[in-house]
Every structure is written in C-alpha cells, then in structure tokens.
Structure 1
C-alpha cells in the first residue's frame, strides 16, 4: 500500500506569462501565447494540489519576469534550509532575489543565494537522503559541491546531453523515497549507468512520454500529477500502485515547463 504525504508547495500565478525570448528549444517568440489560458491551466493545477490536501503558498508575480511561474527554479529547500537560485540567463536573473525575499519573509531565515549558476529544483531533486543534481545545460557542476556543503546531504551529479531536456526535472521525476522515473535518452552514458545502479527498479519513460514532458511531474508518494498526454507513463505508474492524475499545461509547455516546473517544494526542518 502506498501512502501519500502532505506537501507544502510554493507557486507563482502566470499573470505575466509570455514567450518573448528563447533560452531553450521549446521557446519560440513567433508562436502566439494565450496568457488567460495559461492562468486557467495553472489554477487547475493548484486546485488539484489543494484537493489532495497539500498546502499551497503563492509568491507575487513580477511584471517583466514571464518565466517566474516556474517556481521550481527559484530555490532548493531541504530541512528548512533554502539555497536560492542563481540563474544562467540574463532574462531570469531578477527572479532569484524575488524568491530570496519571499523565503526570508515566510519562515525560511536559514538561506543563501548560490555563488555559481544553480537553477534550484529544476536541477536538484531529493530522493530519500540523496540530492540528484543535474548539469550540462544550466546548473554549473561546481554548484554540486556547494549544495552538498550547504545541505549536508550526499549529492549525485548527473549530466544531461539532450537540449530538449535542459533541466533534470524534465527528464526525471521522484516518485517516493526509493523510486524514480526517468528517460534514458536525456543522460550521458556514465550518468545513465549511475541511475541504473542506484534505481534498478525505476520506471523507464518512453521517448513519446518524455517528449510531452511526462516526467515533469510531482508525487506525494501515491498521487502523481503529470501532463495528461503522457498516457503510457500513467499506465506504468498505475501498474506500480501509484495514482496518476493528468493535467493540461499545454500553454506553459510553450516555454518549456509543466507540472514540476510550476511547483517548488518547501521542506521544513525535521
């Protein structure tokens, strides 16, 4: 029997969401964006979390920061300690201070802004006692040592090699404290070997499900919220005893984001 655990999430309403620049292969400023639809889809995701019994806080969106909706990138929060993001791209740099101030003002005084490029839970995923840390496109590999020193937890570096999966949370999702799902084609041979060694019973996503960002998902140990088009992955999860809940975030996918990108987990001390 799988047991859900209530989570505490931070989200940012996509009030100013748009695609006006391109910093990943998904972003095309020439394609129209329906911001009201993005807001409706985001509100549905938030409603799903609330109906599952999770706590959802929101940070005020900032005009001129269209990607601030992707709250997962803002920080990594473990044991009540927050390592705030330092973004690679100039278009997103101002998001870091906004998340820093919110965390400082909302019960996370033990925080630090990363000294090198570190894009938060986009590239840092907690599995049990381990932090899986992505690099290759965004977060600097030197950020892995910094995170290990700050959190006092082992950090396992994983190298991404496909630009479509530019953050770790686009290619791997944590299902419970021992189980992950991932797309093998996103990782270097050495990193793939590490994943196979650490997680021999992992759920392996198909190229089709990875391509609709099926792995950009969240889990409370039972309920897995994921893009609704990842149907084969949902069947695999159901076979493993999870409860997949499909949502439509197609408008946010135009910027290379989906469920997990919109969701920063706030893990308290203890």
Structure 2
C-alpha cells in the first residue's frame, strides 16, 4: 500500500492510502520437454563444486524425485519426451546440457569434461530419430541450455566456466537469433541456468553476484523489473527453475524466491530435487525445452 498527499490552500496535508497495482495476470503456455531418467545416476568424479564422490548417493531416491518432477510437468499440461539413459553416463539425467532448440532448429552440445562428452551423441541421435534431421553440432565447447537461455527475444549466453565465448557466435549462426553474452564469476554457479531463469518474456530472475559487473549492467538494462534472488535462494540452486509463463517449478528450499514470484503473479510449484543436487543439478538441469 502506498499513499498520496493532498494539500488545499491554508490546510494541513491530507494523506490518503492508494492501493498498489495488482500483479499482472500470468498466462501459461503448453511446453514440450525432453528428459532422461537417472537410472545410472552416480557421483563418480568432480567437475563442479557441488560434486563429492565421497558422499553416498541414493539412486532409487534420485529416480523417484525425477519421476515426481516429470509428473509435475505432465500435470501442468506439458508434453515430456524421454531419452533412454546409457550405462556409464551418470550425468545424462541433466538433459538441458545436451541441446538448444529455438524455432525448430537444433544446436547440439560439446562438453568441456571428457566424462560427459559421449552424452552429446546420444542426444543427437534422439533428435535425428524424432524429426530433427538438421542438428548442428558445435565446434566450440557449448553446454547447451546449461549456458543458453532463450527469453523469447534474445538468447542469453553464459561463459566463464564451461561454454567458450566463441560458442556464442556459433549459436547465433546456427539458431538465427540475437545473442547476449554474460560472464559468470562464481564457480558455484558454473552454468547460466544455476544463476538465472526466464519467468516470462521480458522478465527474468537472477542472482546478481554470480555475474561480472558489466554483465550485471547488461541484465539491469534489459530487465529492469527482474526478480533479484538472494544468497540463500541461490545457494540451494533455487534459480535452476522452469517457468511456463505462470507456473514456476523450483527447488522447495527456495522459499524466499517462491514468495517473490508469487507476489509477481506466478504460481510457485516446489519440488524436491535434493538427491540430484549432489551433482549440481536442479529442475532446469533435468529439462531440455523443445521449442518448435
């Protein structure tokens, strides 16, 4: 609630309450997602600060949490396609890192870590077999939707830890969309999708401290009304979230972020993804969006 002061000549000011503008109506759109069950999930190596091979992993729990996430998407009216997991690729569950699809064009991935490199071919074959014969495979390191986020106008492109800066130009050529480069500076937020997600066109949520000063200026200029997450919500990978324009699927620990998106007119849909977080992943990491 805000207030306005009215002053008549010779009178003391009269302050009247003015109701704050209501949050805009948010409209969901049906999405198509690609996912991969964590049947072979493990933490066998360390390629980000979240991973600890000494920490026990409960594969059954990881599968259960993944199935619940998939069920949430389906209950919201979205289509979920599934890639068959391959033995020996414990991080294949993080499907978002394996392709970027905008307007029916598919740009594949090239992983920095050799342990994950074979995943790219598995996903390329899935796309080829499912009506996308023109998959472009990158020459530069490109970890796909891990570092590429489509806003509806721009492809926000992260770099600093995984994806090469030169991959941003490759993405622009392959997808035919304008690319905005952003530099990540905190190793805990090694992919763009751990520090930023799109709520709706022209509205994002992000953790400012994950970005370089120049990138923060770019984000502030492009998205002046953005939701700014705090350290607590960023630290539970709360920004590794998925929005359909109204419903925001995010880790259940991100309570402050959930409250803020609800204040903006969205519906927060908390999910438990704690077991997969042991490998540095959350809802978005598990979810590659196919945009035809």
Tell which has more relative contact order, 1 or 2 (C-alpha 8 A, sep 6+): 1
1:233 lines up with 2:285 in the alignment: no
- Residue 150 (structure 1) shift: 1.0
In the other structure, the counterpart of 2:170 is 146
Instruction: Report the Cα distance in structure 1 between the residues aligned to 2:280 and 2:146, rounded to whole angstroms.
Output: 11
Instruction: Report the Cα distance in structure 1 between the residues aligned to 2:26 and 2:278, rounded to whole angstroms.
Output: 34
1:206 lines up with 2:230 in the alignment: yes
In the other structure, the counterpart of 2:108 is 84
Instruction: Report the Cα distance in structure 2 between the residues aligned to 1:27 and 1:236, rounded to whole angstroms.
Output: 29
Instruction: Report the Cα distance in structure 2 between the residues aligned to 1:151 and 1:113, rounded to whole angstroms.
Output: 12
- How many pairs are equivalent? 268
Q: Could you report, residue by residue, the CA deviation over 1:62-115 in whole angstroms, capped at 9, with x for unpaired residues? A: 000000000000010111111000000000000000000001101111211111
In the other structure, the counterpart of 1:67 is 91
Instruction: Report the Cα distance in structure 2 between the residues aligned to 1:184 and 1:76, rounded to whole angstroms.
Output: 24
Instruction: Report the Cα distance in structure 1 between the residues aligned to 2:135 and 2:103, rounded to whole angstroms.
Output: 11
User: 43-52 or 103-112: which moved more?
Assistant: 103-112
Of the candidates 188, 195, 204, which is equivalent to residue 171 of structure 1? 195
Q: Could you report, residue by residue, the CA deviation over 1:4-30 in whole angstroms, capped at 9, with x for unpaired residues? A: 000000000000000000000000000
1:39 lines up with 2:63 in the alignment: yes
Q: Could you report, residue by residue, the CA deviation over 1:138-195 in whole angstroms, capped at 9, with x for unpaired residues? A: 0000000000111111100000000000000000010011100000010000001100
1:197 lines up with 2:197 in the alignment: no
Q: Secondary structure at the match of 1:201?
A: coil
Of the candidates 228, 241, 257, which is equivalent to residue 217 of structure 1? 241
Greater radius of gyration (CA)? 2
Unaligned runs of 5+ in 1: none
In the other structure, the counterpart of 1:243 is 267
Q: Tell whether the 8 Å contact from 1:123 to 1:167 is kept in structure 2 after alignment.
A: yes
- 4+ long deviations beyond 3 Å: none
Superposed, 1:82-121 pairs within 5 Å as 82-121=106-145
In the other structure, the counterpart of 2:14 is none
Instruction: Report the Cα distance in structure 1 between the residues aligned to 2:74 and 2:107, rounded to whole angstroms.
Output: 26
1:133 lines up with 2:154 in the alignment: no
Q: Could you report, residue by residue, the CA deviation over 1:213-246 in whole angstroms, capped at 9, with x for unpaired residues? A: 0000000000000000000000000000000000
What is the alpha-carbon root mean square deviation over aligned residues? 0.4
Of the candidates 185, 190, 204, which is equivalent to residue 209 of structure 2? 185
Instruction: Report the Cα distance in structure 1 between the residues aligned to 2:118 and 2:61, rounded to whole angstroms.
Output: 25
In the other structure, the counterpart of 1:52 is 76
Q: Secondary structure at the match of 1:65?
A: coil
Q: Tell whether the 8 Å contact from 1:80 to 1:110 is kept in structure 2 after alignment.
A: no
Instruction: Report the Cα distance in structure 2 between the residues aligned to 1:77 and 1:109, rounded to whole angstroms.
Output: 13
Q: Secondary structure at the match of 1:210?
A: helix
